[in-house]
Structures are given as C-alpha cells and as structure tokens.
Amino acid sequence: MLTQEELAAIRAPIESARTLPKRAFVDPEFYRFEEEHLIRPSWLAVAFSAELDKGACQPYTVLGFPVLLARDRDGIGRAFHNVCPYDGCEVALSPLSDIDEIVTAYHGWRYALDGRLLQAPYWDGTPDAASVDVADLNADLVPIDYAEWLGTVFVRLAPAGDSFERYMQPVTDYCADLDLDRLAPGHDEHGQPRIDRLTIRANWKTVYENYSPNVYHESSVHAQYRRSPHTPRVKDGHKTYREVIGDNGFIGLDYDNSVGGSFYPDSPFRLIQDRSGKPSQRNAIINVYPNWALTVLNQYARITINQPVAVDRCEQSIVTYFDGDQATDPDPEMVVHRNRAANGGVVAREEDNAIAESIQRARQSPAFDSHPYSTFWDRPHYALTNLLADRIEAAQANQS
C-alpha cells in the first residue's frame, strides 16, 4: 500500500515530510485494504444511544456488514451480526420497537434480545417444535464487541487489540474534569432527539484531517469564525489554542472559554460544568480514530459520527447535547434555541464537507500527489499521517 520511499517521506522531520500520497484517498483497493486492516479491527462509532430504546432493535450496514443493535427491557445494549445462522437471511429487516423477542422474516425463528435462540417453529413439523432442544441447533446470534460511552454506540467488527476502556482512555482522562454526564441530546419540536445526517462525497481520512487537526482553514471557510476577533487563532505570532495530540488517534485542540464565546451566538443555556460544579473554562474540538468527534463549547456539546462507506463517501450523523432538562424542555422558545444551536453545527459541517468534497475532486488531477506541512499549523496533521502510516505498515507486515 505504501512504498518504503513514501514511508520515509512521511516519517521525515515535519520540515521536510510529505502527507500520504493521493492514491490513499482515491484508490478503491487502498480503501478496501483500510476497511479490512485499519477500520474493522478498531472500535468504530456506529450510532447514538438515543436511537436505541429499551425493547428495540435496529439494523445497520457497517463497512458492508449487516449489523444488528439491540437493547433489552433492562437497558442493556448488544450488537450482533444481523444474520440468522440457519437460513443466512437478515434477522431483522427493519427497526423493531416495544418487543421482547425478534421473529425472523424468512422462517419465523424467535430470538431474545440477548441473541439467544428461543424457538424454531415447525422445525420438527409441529408449531412449537416441542421435541427440539434449541441448544442442539447451535444457532444463537453471533455477537459483535459492543460498548457505549457519552451517548455513542461503538462496535468492533474484527476483535483485536485494546479493550474499549483502553482505547478510550486518552479521551476519558482528558475529559475527567468535565461533568459530561449532565448532558443529554437536544430534542426537536416533536419531542424526539434531533439527529442531523449528511452525505460527504469524500474519503474518510480527508474528513478526519479537516476537522480538529486543521485550524488554519477556519477564517477562510467558516462565516461564524470570521466574525470573531480571535480568528485566525494567533496573537503576536503565537497560537491562542493548545494542540491535543494523544494516543489512539486522539487529536484536536482546546482553548479558553473567553475565546470560544466569541464564535457562537448568545443563548439561554446553562454553561457546561466541571466536576466541581463550576462553569468549565475549556472549549475543545477533538477527533478519535477512526470516526468519532467531540466538540465541547461554552453552553453545549456536539458529537459527530463519520461513517466510511466507500473510498469517496462518508455518512455523517450529528447530535447536539445540552445540560439536564434544557435538552428536553418543550417550551417553544427553548426548542427554537436548541434548533439554532444545532443548525450552527450543521452549517459549519456543510462548509467543512464542501471543502472535503473539493479536495476529493482535486485529487483526481495529475498536478497533485502529496503536500508538505506548515510547521506552525500542521503538527496534528503530521501526527495523524504518521499514525496511519504506522498502522498501514503493520498491516502490510502481517500479510507478508
């Protein structure tokens, strides 16, 4: 996937290093390699917890695999391969709610929401298959590694490497002083959690590179940032933010609340608190490899899932979170303010996504292959590229 010359250029000191070559962003074979060796073995954000009620299941397609998320009446969530071991058909073809069991579409087999086969009707020619011990059929649903944190459902399609706790530790340590447990998804005018969904015609790595690693673009791309006296984020030749570069692709920036307050309109929401009960003084924009992003602002937070679909396509889901009952307050004025906050996030993402799509088109040109870094702005991007190169090289070595 990468030649020794390309790896050497990537790992050179930032002053002379180069980014990944363009085929890493436009070649379908490169993307398929990444799917199998870089993304499936990683913890991957796939849904928001608010999408999965108690006594419900929801089918998804994740990296081409049929996946079934289920939550039982006790609130325990699980993930399974959405395939019946007997007939090879999907267990659930569409979302199901207010259920205690799943009845398969093809042969009517009954499954509990914990994946156990309960009954195989007519397997022995009788309605209840009384003579059949379902344990002998060895046909329980095949589980997938599952975890939830901060309102997000994560799965791991190819078990390997770190536990979820170890994988998320850089983030949980970073957020330890923030009282994020107070936050809940903002509800819309229909009393439902608002989830905004966008399609991006660009490679997943381009989306990642643009968001928190790239600060340089803000004043050019985002109207709301241009209005702030703190954009670009420099003063007297020095950054007015702190770069965050941690383990496991934990990359982004944070900055003081007084700066963050200048980027967004005033609203009636309570300030995000730290664990001591005082208003937090820290805003943050961070990514976690491969597809989860957290934005912590003055009065609300935002989580974004960027689901890779193809070499040149991602599906993006966004939820904005507010403090306590302000997330669900049905007062029409509060709904307007929640929608305004959510809309601001969508507009910013649409601006980012338009640039990502432009880059995807431009990478078709013979005039471009890779590019250098700004030593002032691009150290997070440089760290991300080296992380990707390390994982690509390790996967190549395992294939040898």
- 370: domain CATH number is 3.90.380.10
In tens, the pLDDT along 40-90 reads 999 999 999 999 999 999 999 999 999 999 999 999 999 999 999 999 999
Q: Are both 262 and 311 inside the same structural domain?
A: yes
Separation CA 200–CA 67 (nearest Å) = 22
Q: Are both 122 and 70 inside the same structural domain?
A: yes
Among the residue ranges 156-170, 198-212, 376-390, the one predicted with the least confidence is: 156-170
Separation CA 15–CA 314 (nearest Å) = 31
Q: Are both 313 and 367 inside the same structural domain?
A: yes
Separation CA 205–CA 130 (nearest Å) = 53
Whether residue 49 is contained in a domain is answered as yes
Q: Are both 109 and 253 inside the same structural domain?
A: no
Q: Are both 37 and 69 inside the same structural domain?
A: no
Report which residue type is found at 84: C
**Which pLDDT score is estimated for 262?**
74
- Domain tally, the chain: 2
Q: Are both 214 and 279 inside the same structural domain?
A: yes
Separation CA 291–CA 307 (nearest Å) = 6
**The last residue of a domain, from among 149, 174, 207:** 149
Whether residue 158 is contained in a domain is answered as no
Longest C-alpha distance within the chain, in Å? 82
- DSSP letter assigned to residue 274: B
pTM summary value: 0.95
pLDDT at 223 over 90: no
Domain ranges, residue 108: 44-149
**Which pLDDT score is estimated for 232?**
87
User: Tokens 């608002």 — which residue?
Assistant: 194
CATH code where residue 64 lies: 2.102.10.10
**The last residue of a domain, from among 117, 149, 181:** 149
Q: Are both 216 and 280 inside the same structural domain?
A: yes
